[in-house]
Chains A and B, each alone.
Chain A
Amino acid sequence: MSSAFTKSAARNIFYGGAVFFFLLLIGLTFDTMSTLPKRDNRENLSESVLRGKHIWETRNCIGCHTLMGEGAYFAPELVNVYKRRGPEFIKAWMQGQPTGAPGRRQMPNFHLNDEQLDDMVNFLKYTSEINTSNWPPNIEG
């Protein structure tokens, strides 16, 4: 058994370990990419959903809401909002903002037209059908 643990041994472990585990990460990523089609609901990625995602991004929704638990924690989780509230509620809600209720958290009005509202709803429908391993724990998100 070796007693002297030298700096160059430590260096080799660093470089070797980094390469080793990065290759492992790439291997697992490769497997993930081949498994995703069964889980990520890509068959429903319509043009409208893609437009909806673009609206989602350019209105910085993630700055207040979470989607699949990622984002800001200021406003409700939206991955399952389609199931929680339904399409009509979502559209009416977005058109009704801001509520102006004193002291309450406010959401801006993004002045989306009917087509954009439909795109948004379609995007949220698509996300609600992704297999997220039963997350969130309940409908409240």
Chain B
Amino acid sequence: MKYQSQMVAKPYFIAAIGLFLGQILFGLIMGLQYVVGDFLFPEIPFNVARMVHTNLLIVWLLFGFMGAAYYLIPEESERELHSPKLAMVMFWIFLAAGVMTILGYLFVPYATLAEMTGNNLLATMGREFLEQPLPTKVGIVVVALAMLYNLSMTVLRGRKTAINLVMLVGLWGLAIFFLFSFYNPGNIVKDKYFWWWVVHLWVEGVWELIMGAMLAFVLIKVTGVDREVIEKWLYVIIAMALITGLIGTGHHYYWIGAPEYWQWWGSVFSALEPIPFFMMTVFAFNMVNRRRREHPNKAAVLWALGTGVMAFLGAGVWGFLHTLAPVNFYTHGSQITAAHGHMAFYGAYVMVVITMISYTMPLMRGRAANSPLAQVVEMWSFWLMTVAMVFITLFLTAAGILQIWLQRISDQPMSFMAAQDQVALFYWLREGAGVIFLIGLLLYIGSFFIKGKAATAD
């Protein structure tokens, strides 16, 4: 760590991990509700648990991105952060907003919450992933703008590298596309059409820029490969991500009332979306193989490689499985979508944030790397979580295939609930894998508390 102000990243990362734990606990509740329908009813109905699960994911990933930005932008710009104080104020505002929102979901009926928070003035709530009350949405915008001001000033006055420019472009895009969450026309087709401008253009657009910048930053640090080479790769990867991903938005427009030509445009371009993810895998392995030094932080290298592989599997392969319109006609809105969503978010975004945390946390705690024992525990947590996620995905895929067969393809289609009963076994297996994931996560958190002499490069 070269600059004192990079330390503001630490609370962001701690908050991220804390909320991650919350996300997983609610995930387990939902998983159980899939098979024991009345579990915790009426205290926590499924829709509330899901809202908490997905919103916690979004909030903690945002914490992770912000923390990463506050860490890497000063280092790349070679100067102190414009205002560390502003960054800390924003941290507390964002944390308070996030926690209040979650508590609101849990303890206030959603309709009452909507009324209390001014949803009748500007109705934006009740749409998937954008359930946040109006004040929270405004808060997100304020926090994002304050952060962008802070980071932009730092970059403007400092060194401009591909990494900090791409990170900044990604974060600006994140803030700008979020503005579409305030547009909620009565016409449900238009509503859905522009809803994707937030959701798709985030996760299959600007977030990939943020992800690429974070991965490139860590790879430069842990491999010592020439910056020119890594930055060239970064540009090529994110160029492909946007070239395929922007029109790839069309794969969400097949069945929501948009014109049918989207079936062609969406299929062709989203079929190419695996390319940038595949390049990311090649990139990570290539750079590690060409490394010029042995970094003592083995765990961070493992996470970086894991990100490349799992992002490709989850976002690339599992995305491709059901992106072509004729296939998607049957798979749309089934457990296949859930399978893809789980592995893609874990492989791409969860893992890249953990990569960043894994690399930076020891530095912020005053050592190049954690003790060998702490690293071994962390690597165990890597394998437990990753393997558990692979199994969650496989079980959900199996459930999805069976569901589609029974409910949509068979000559005598079953009703939704009848089909759900038939696939219950896979939901039980998924819940089991989820418990393993939780154990992995607890181990991960535990690894922060293992003391010992810092590892050195051997």
Interface size classification for chain A: 35 or more
Chain A residue nearest to B114 (CB atoms) is A58
Docked-complex contact A40 and B246, CB < 8 angstroms: no
Docked-complex contact A71 and B259, CB < 8 angstroms: no
Docked-complex contact A103 and B257, CB < 8 angstroms: no
* CB proximity to B under 8 Å, residues A94-141: 98, 100-108, 110, 126-127, 130-133, 135-141
Interfacial chain A residues near B223, Cβ < 8 Å:
none
Docked-complex contact A137 and B409, CB < 8 angstroms: yes
Docked-complex contact B232 and A64, CB < 8 angstroms: no
* CB proximity to B under 8 Å, residues A58-98: 58-64, 66-77, 98
* CB proximity to A under 8 Å, residues B63-103: none
Interfacial chain A residues near B119, Cβ < 8 Å:
58
Interfacial chain A residues near B125, Cβ < 8 Å:
57-58, 60
Docked Cα-Cα span, A117 to B415, in Å, equals 24
B114, B256, B330, B408: most-surrounded residue (chain A CB, <10 A): B256
* CB proximity to A under 8 Å, residues B37-54: 37-38, 41-42, 45-48, 50-51
Stretch binding the partner chain, chosen from B20-28, B183-191, B311-319, B365-373 = B183-191
Docked-complex contact A53 and B50, CB < 8 angstroms: no
Docked-complex contact A13 and B236, CB < 8 angstroms: yes
Set A7, A39, A72, A76: member contacting B232, Cβ < 8 A: A7
Docked Cα-Cα span, A137 to B220, in Å, equals 49
Docked Cα-Cα span, A63 to B190, in Å, equals 20
Docked-complex contact B46 and A63, CB < 8 angstroms: yes
Set A17, A45, A105, A139: member contacting B187, Cβ < 8 A: A45
Interfacial chain A residues near B190, Cβ < 8 Å:
33, 36, 40
On whether A70 and B257 interact (CB within 8 A), knowing A60-B47, A137-B409, the answer reads: no
Interfacial chain B residues near A66, Cβ < 8 Å:
333
Set A62, A64, A127, A141: member contacting B126, Cβ < 8 A: A62
Docked-complex contact A32 and B258, CB < 8 angstroms: yes
Interfacial chain B residues near A72, Cβ < 8 Å:
46-47, 50, 128
Docked-complex contact A60 and B256, CB < 8 angstroms: no
Distance to closest chain B CB from A61 (angstroms):
8
A1 part of interface (Cβ distance < 8 Å)? no
B335 part of interface (Cβ distance < 8 Å)? yes
Docked-complex contact B189 and A36, CB < 8 angstroms: yes
Interfacial chain B residues near A14, Cβ < 8 Å:
235-236, 238-239, 242
On whether A31 and B189 interact (CB within 8 A), knowing A7-B232, A140-B415, the answer reads: no
Please, what's the 1-or-0 string for B386-408, where 1 marks a CB less than 8 Å from any CB in chain A? 00000000000000000000011
A3 part of interface (Cβ distance < 8 Å)? no
Docked-complex contact A68 and B42, CB < 8 angstroms: no
Set A39, A50, A73: member contacting B186, Cβ < 8 A: A50
Docked-complex contact A39 and B231, CB < 8 angstroms: no
B383 part of interface (Cβ distance < 8 Å)? no
* CB proximity to B under 8 Å, residues A22-59: 22, 24-25, 28-29, 31-33, 35-36, 39-42, 45, 49-50, 53-54, 56-59
Interfacial chain B residues near A58, Cβ < 8 Å:
110-111, 114-115, 119, 125-126
Sample of 29 A–B contacts (CB below 8 Å): A18-B239, A22-B246, A24-B246, A28-B247, A32-B262, A36-B187, A39-B257, A45-B187, A50-B186, A57-B126, A58-B111, A63-B48, A64-B45, A68-B255, A70-B128, A70-B192, A72-B47, A72-B128, A73-B333, A74-B30, A74-B34, A98-B41, A101-B38, A105-B38, A105-B46, A106-B38, A135-B254, A136-B332, A140-B414
- For the complex of A and B, list the 7 residue pairs with the smallest distance between their C-beta atoms, beginning with the closest: A63-B47, A57-B126, A69-B333, A105-B37, A135-B255, A10-B235, A76-B416
Assuming A13-B239, A36-B257, A133-B260, what are 11 further A-B pairs, CB within 8 angstroms?
Answer: A7-B162, A7-B232, A18-B239, A22-B242, A57-B184, A58-B110, A63-B47, A63-B131, A64-B50, A132-B256, A136-B333
